Chain A
Amino acid sequence: MASLKEMRSSNRILLLQTLRLVGEADRATLARMTGVSRVTVSGLLGEAIARGHVVESRARGAAPAGRRGRPAMLRLDPRAGVVVGVDLGHSHVGVVLADLEATVVGERRVVFDVDAAPDAALGVAVGLVDELVQSLGIDSGRLIGVGLGVPRPVVRGTGTSPSRPVPLAWAGASPGEELSRRLGLPVRVENDANVGALGELFRGAARGARDVVYLKLSTGVGAGLLLDGSLYTGCRGIAGDLGHVTVVQNGHICGCGNRGCLETVASAGALARALAPIHGDRLTLSRLLELVDRDDPVAERGMRDIGRHVGRALAPLCMALDVELVVLGGELGATSRRLLASVRTELRKTDVAREPVTVRRALLGDRAEALGAVVLALGQEEWLHQAGLIALNGAAEPAAGLQSSSERRAATG
């Protein structure tokens, strides 16, 4: 039999998890939802309020005439903790600080050649975090942990990248461990497309959806998979690495050693190569974006071709996983109507018996990754536990997924 202490702790777990899931509830509702007695609920909530983890408020709206006021509503105090989202791109470093409901309290972003100096980039991130914490007057004791997005696949367990085909400057280095050491906080690392997907799910184009492929199209190609409302990363954490799906039979040789990978035909570099005969060979990403933006016919054609390849790479995955929504993000992915139309056309050609996959452009622009990194950090229940904010339940708990109460509300609201 479970001891009295264990019972009490497991009831506390149940209460706080329930609050986290529903956002807000009164004592009677909590007792009903958890099956814990009213007396125990009141006792446990009293403790949690005293510790500053739960706040109590009168419900909005006037009480109906002739009745007592509505019962007090309880919720987790969002200011009880602060999480950090760090977005390392190929050429920028972004940092976001947010409360427990993922409301942004401060953010910074600087241009930096991350690929050339990954270690220095971590230093820049640490500097930005310190600067934000100081300028906002945040008690550093309230910092709980860091979600970190990096522009390459991340192998689970080690937090490192597979050695090929990513640039060697990053190979073997574990940015998570290093950042954790420098900040003195736990860090969870994910690939940039994965955190981008979380960002779009939380407050972007994928809000309310449960089964989504977020495709990031920029200097490279990557994808994040959201299945049943949670990030899916595969047996070693590298699911969604779509850049190396073969899309052209006997196509160009890719850096990974295969032929005709998606990345050889659908990336900024590929677009620049396709446009070079007309627009010259000094096409930077910003120049490409400008051409796309002003409906240059050559760039339009280039984007349509990219869309066709992207659609072909996505179709099998969408069919095999029964995905309802594709979100196109990244600088190139989110900007072009032609690309959107062309991906849509290609996906409509899939199995006629199925409901068509919806294709949307991402909404968060360059903030998707940092916001997603915040969501990633908030999904780490054990950090919240270590910070004394929640008791920890088993790993098989659905709440151990990535949906916090605020996400859930965002998803339904």
Chain B
Amino acid sequence: MSAPQQLRDRNVASVVEALRQHGSISRTQLARVTGISRTTVLSILDQLEAAGFVAVRGSDGAPERSLGRPAARVALKPSAGVALGIFVAREHLQIVVTDLSLTLLAERQARFARRPPAEPLIDLALELADGALEEAGVAKRMLVGAAFGVPSPVDPRTGEVDRRILEEWAARRVRETVSQRLGTPVAMENDANTEALGEIALGAGQGLRHVIFVHAGFGIGGAIVLDGRLRRGPTGMAGELAHIRVRGADGPVCLCGRRDCLRSVASGSALVDAMAIAHGSELDLDRLVDLASNGDPGACRAMSDAGDAIGAVVAGLCSGVNPEAVIIGGQLGFPGSPLVDAARQRLAQDVHRAAVPVTVLPAALGDVGGGLGAASVVVRSGDVFGHHVDIR
């Protein structure tokens, strides 16, 4: 992509994101909040309006100036298009349809004991997508884009996923197939990245620009948002926290062949293993969460130990990254979770005292976060709207 095109997409994405956040807003304010020159904002708005994504409203808001006519306001036309989010998890597949303001219009889920290979999974996803679009009452041609959240890093150089994790996935072919069958552009993003974007758009991270997100579920994932933008890194591995070493944990050997990886100490799978002696091998993650929620001391202890380890690792990153908040999601990161509480305590103790205190928050979107996050990848994407806008 050429530099002007990238700049255009970034500017368009900023304008759309600001419209989504502010509802209806005057053009002058829009230029101010995006930091983009007024001329550019006007040109982008004109073209988005011509493409039908933006509506100009009369001066229905409070007068912006004390003299003269109040400024006209512009707003996204939520109904001008829909986004499709496809979230691929270990044991389920989630499809959401949202409008351009990320309001959930329909949702579909399928659960499986073991994730099917790529082809049948895509077929299933498309079938669910058809159902969801029907329920939402929108035609396929209204799709502005679709995005996958997948449990693998996505290499920005090749667009490919890690095949050791997603066997048989040729990401480019998956994107092409789905794009062809839906008639819309398709993006692919790491699962924790999509969850983080969802939390920032609609959940615990609304209004935040610098965030470390931790996915504490069966595995450990993470995402880093810097200055409102996802940090992917040159190889797409940014935000991957699973194999960061926990200091002095002296724990089990990890799949990667080293000891004390965060994953081998604090992932849901490690917790289930740790609980097996007391609770038998029948215990699964859902049950563990139930036990902890009912105050079972063993389950609470396991979760708070995991939170302590997560807190220690994230504290080591906070001095480097200087985030406003740490958001913990996944099955183990919910309001009131002993894991979140323990992580908060560890961070309070370890983070450089002169730094701003880092807020630790549980994710707020729960089950639907992954799908909504994937949909937010679509509406945040500059190129979805960008190709309606000429570079001037």
> Are A and B associated in one complex?
yes
A interface residues (Cβ-Cβ under 8 A, vs B): 1-2, 6-7, 9-10, 13, 21, 33, 35, 153, 162-166, 210-211, 213, 223, 225, 227, 232-247, 249, 256-258, 261, 312-313, 315-317, 319-324, 349-355, 392-398
Which chain B residues border A239 with CB–CB below 8 Å?
Answer: 319-322
Bound complex: CA of A392 vs CA of B245, how far in Å? 46
Name A396's contact: one of B35, B231, B355 (CB within 8 Å): B35
Q: In whole Å, how far is A373's beta carbon from the nearest beta carbon of chain B?
A: 21
Q: Is the CB of A398 within 8 A of B3?
A: yes
24 CB-based A-B contacts, threshold 8 Å: A1-B46, A21-B3, A227-B231, A234-B321, A234-B322, A235-B324, A239-B321, A241-B320, A241-B322, A241-B354, A245-B315, A246-B350, A256-B353, A258-B350, A261-B352, A316-B313, A317-B316, A322-B231, A322-B240, A323-B233, A351-B256, A352-B258, A394-B11, A394-B37
Name A241's contact: one of B11, B31, B46, B319 (CB within 8 Å): B319
Q: Is the CB of B210 within 8 A of A320?
A: no
B280 contacts the other chain (Cβ, under 8 Å)?
no
Q: Is the CB of A35 within 8 A of B391?
A: yes
Known interface pairs A162-B355, A246-B316, A393-B37; A233-B231 also in contact (CB < 8 Å): no
**Which of B35, B36, B226, B236 counts the most chain A CB atoms within 10 A?**
B226
Report the nearest B residue to A394, measured CB to CB: B36
Q: In whole Å, how far is A399's beta carbon from the nearest beta carbon of chain B?
A: 9
Which chain A residues border B352 with CB–CB below 8 Å?
Answer: 241, 244-245, 256, 258, 261
Name B353's contact: one of A1, A164, A237, A394 (CB within 8 Å): A164
Binary flags per residue of B323-347, CB closer than 8 Å to A gives 1, else 0:
1100000000000000000000000
Q: In whole Å, how far is B17's beta carbon from the nearest beta carbon of chain A?
A: 11
Report the nearest B residue to A9, measured CB to CB: B39
Bound complex: CA of A403 vs CA of B222, how far in Å? 30
B82 contacts the other chain (Cβ, under 8 Å)?
no
B89 contacts the other chain (Cβ, under 8 Å)?
no
Q: In whole Å, how far is A33's beta carbon from the nearest beta carbon of chain B?
A: 8
Bound complex: CA of A240 vs CA of B321, how far in Å? 7
Q: Is the CB of A322 within 8 A of B7?
A: no
Bound complex: CA of A147 vs CA of B231, how far in Å? 27
Which chain A residues border B241 with CB–CB below 8 Å?
Answer: 319-320
Known interface pairs A2-B43, A394-B37, A395-B36; A321-B350 also in contact (CB < 8 Å): no
Q: In whole Å, how far is B42's beta carbon from the nearest beta carbon of chain A?
A: 6
Which chain B residues border A211 with CB–CB below 8 Å?
Answer: 233-234
Which chain B residues border A258 with CB–CB below 8 Å?
Answer: 349-350, 352-353
Q: Is the CB of A396 within 8 A of B36?
A: yes
Name A320's contact: one of B42, B43, B239, B315 (CB within 8 Å): B239
Bound complex: CA of A394 vs CA of B11, how far in Å? 9
Taking chain A's interface residues, is the majority helix, strand, or loop, or is none over half, making it mixed? Answer: loop
Q: In whole Å, how far is A248's beta carbon from the nearest beta carbon of chain B?
A: 8
Which chain A residues border B37 with CB–CB below 8 Å?
Answer: 10, 13, 392-394
Bound complex: CA of A322 vs CA of B233, how far in Å? 5
Having A10-B392, A317-B316, one finds 17 other A-B pairs with CB under 8 Å, namely A1-B46, A2-B43, A7-B39, A10-B40, A21-B3, A35-B392, A234-B322, A236-B355, A257-B353, A261-B352, A317-B317, A319-B241, A349-B258, A352-B258, A353-B162, A353-B256, A398-B3
Q: Is the CB of B323 within 8 A of A256?
A: no
Which chain B residues border A261 with CB–CB below 8 Å?
Answer: 352
Name B235's contact: one of A165, A223, A320, A355 (CB within 8 Å): A355
Name A322's contact: one of B46, B238, B320 (CB within 8 Å): B238
Q: In whole Å, how far is B315's beta carbon from the nearest beta carbon of chain A?
A: 7
Report the nearest A residue to B238, measured CB to CB: A322
Find residues 255-302 in chain B having any chain A CB closer than 8 Å to their own CB: 256-258
B379 contacts the other chain (Cβ, under 8 Å)?
no
Report the nearest A residue to B315, measured CB to CB: A246
B224 contacts the other chain (Cβ, under 8 Å)?
yes
Q: How many residues of B contact A (CB 8 A)?
A: 65
B interface residues (Cβ-Cβ under 8 A, vs A): 3-4, 6-7, 10-11, 14, 31, 34-37, 39-40, 42-43, 46, 162, 164, 209-210, 212, 222, 224, 226-227, 231-241, 243-245, 247-248, 256-258, 312-313, 315-317, 319-324, 349-350, 352-356, 391-392
Bound complex: CA of A211 vs CA of B210, how far in Å? 18
Bound complex: CA of A246 vs CA of B308, how far in Å? 14
Which chain B residues border A33 with CB–CB below 8 Å?
Answer: 4
Q: In whole Å, how far is B263's beta carbon from the nearest beta carbon of chain A?
A: 10
Q: In whole Å, how far is A15's beta carbon from the nearest beta carbon of chain B?
A: 13
Q: Is the CB of A227 within 8 A of B226?
A: yes
Bound complex: CA of A237 vs CA of B324, how far in Å? 11
Q: Is the CB of B350 within 8 A of A233?
A: no
Bound complex: CA of A49 vs CA of B239, how far in Å? 48
Name B209's contact: one of A35, A235, A353 (CB within 8 Å): A235
Which chain A residues border B6 with CB–CB below 8 Å?
Answer: 398
Known interface pairs A234-B210, A320-B224, A398-B6; A352-B354 also in contact (CB < 8 Å): no
Report the nearest A residue to B257, measured CB to CB: A352
4 smallest CB-CB distances across A and B, nearest first, come from A322-B233, A234-B322, A395-B35, A394-B36
Report the nearest B residue to A213, measured CB to CB: B320
Q: Is the CB of B235 within 8 A of A317?
A: no
Bound complex: CA of A397 vs CA of B224, how far in Å? 22
Q: Is the CB of B231 within 8 A of A394?
A: no
Q: Is the CB of A2 within 8 A of B354?
A: no
Bound complex: CA of A1 vs CA of B352, how far in Å? 51
Q: Is the CB of A313 within 8 A of B14?
A: no
Q: In whole Å, how far is A311's beta carbon from the nearest beta carbon of chain B?
A: 11
Q: In whole Å, how far is A71's beta carbon from the nearest beta carbon of chain B?
A: 22
Q: In whole Å, how far is B333's beta carbon from the nearest beta carbon of chain A?
A: 17
Bound complex: CA of A242 vs CA of B313, how far in Å? 14
Q: In whole Å, how far is B116's beta carbon from the nearest beta carbon of chain A?
A: 25
Q: In whole Å, how far is A44's beta carbon from the nearest beta carbon of chain B?
A: 15
**Which of B40, B258, B323 counts the most chain A CB atoms within 10 A?**
B40
Q: Is the CB of A320 within 8 A of B222?
A: yes
Which chain B residues border A242 with CB–CB below 8 Å?
Answer: 319-320
Report the nearest A residue to B356, measured CB to CB: A236
Report the nearest A residue to B355, measured CB to CB: A238
Q: Is the CB of A235 within 8 A of B210?
A: yes
Report the nearest A residue to B222, measured CB to CB: A320
Bound complex: CA of A397 vs CA of B256, how far in Å? 41
Q: Is the CB of B245 within 8 A of A316?
A: yes
Q: In whole Å, how far is B16's beta carbon from the nearest beta carbon of chain A?
A: 13
Bound complex: CA of A10 vs CA of B317, how far in Å? 41
Q: Is the CB of B233 within 8 A of A394?
A: no
Report the nearest B residue to A156, measured CB to CB: B322
Which chain A residues border B35 with CB–CB below 8 Å?
Answer: 394-396
Bound complex: CA of A46 vs CA of B39, how far in Å? 24
Name B320's contact: one of A163, A223, A236 (CB within 8 Å): A223
Q: In whole Å, how far is A316's beta carbon from the nearest beta carbon of chain B?
A: 5
Bound complex: CA of A318 vs CA of B300, how far in Å? 32
**Which of B11, B42, B392 counts the most chain A CB atoms within 10 A?**
B392
Known interface pairs A246-B247, A320-B238, A321-B233; A232-B11 also in contact (CB < 8 Å): no
Which chain A residues border B162 with CB–CB below 8 Å?
Answer: 353
Which chain B residues border A241 with CB–CB below 8 Å?
Answer: 319-320, 322, 352, 354-355
Q: Is the CB of B234 within 8 A of A322?
A: yes
